[in-house]
Structure 1
């Protein structure tokens, strides 16, 4: 079982954030442009943790070299059943440098887009806070 799956299922957000490379890229199922950087990727994943209810992984597929993982899940968003997949790519250090999420059906994707849209003000505050904490003080 990949540590990402273990952390999601346990609701361990600190462990999740520790799995991302600094140059991680998050590709959303509902937004065209990918989000770049660990801070925004981690903040989006925290937002998703607030939106998805009853998430459970039903299958995990791993490439022969162990650097690509497909984690198939089922969850609920605003009362709608969501089927999806988290595609992970690991860098040379074993950190996630690419996370792509796909979901179906369309009604659930629309519900997810709406629910995540409602999270984005908080996500932006979290990213601003992370960047402020990481800034050097003169």
Structure 2
């Protein structure tokens, strides 16, 4: 999905969030249970932007307009090289309704889990603030 790729490459968290469906499901590479909803998913993705260094997409799989696509990326987390993939599914309106991320190797996934764990209080606060703002 070109719009998501471009928003991530610009590190534009507002543009990323605008592409998410309200009922989006985020499947994390380091958490057992998926996360549901735009507020928590957007907050997690902002956290990811803070912890990934030297992030770049290296391959795109799927034709523009397909409901499913894959973006392969490389980055660094705490000095560890990460290779991963964003599996993106869009709904009938073109909004992202599922985003599943996979990363390798295990040592990099461990570094990612630690880095995101350190961000999680902030992520939860951002999500709660967004939900409160949305209900006001």
TM above 0.5, one fold?
Answer: yes
Q: Deviations over 1:68-98 (max 9, x none)?
A: 1100000000000000000000000000000
**Aligned residue number for residue 102 of structure 1:** 102
Give the TM-score, by structure 1 length: 0.95
Q: CA deviation at 1:135?
A: 1.5
SS of corresponding position for 2:60: strand
In 1: Cα distance, 2:52 partner to 2:62 partner: 24
**Aligned residue number for residue 59 of structure 1:** 59
2:55–2:76 Cα contact (<8 Å) kept: yes
Q: CA deviation at 1:65?
A: 6.0
In structure 2, the gaps of 5 or more residues are none
Give the TM-score, by structure 2 length: 0.97
**Aligned residue number for residue 43 of structure 1:** 43
2:76 is the alignment partner of 1:84:
no
In structure 1, the gaps of 5 or more residues are none
Matched ranges for 1:120-135 at <5 A: 120-135=120-135
Shifted more, 88-97 versus 61-70: the winner is 61-70
**Aligned residue number for residue 27 of structure 1:** 27
Q: 1:64 to 1:43 in 2, by over 3 A?
A: closer
Q: 1:110 to 1:91 in 2, by over 3 A?
A: same
Across the aligned residues of Structure 1 and Structure 2, the Cα RMSD in angstroms comes to 1.2
In 1: Cα distance, 2:2 partner to 2:13 partner: 15
SS of corresponding position for 1:71: strand
> How many matched pairs?
136
Q: CA deviation at 1:131?
A: 1.1
In 2: Cα distance, 1:79 partner to 1:64 partner: 34
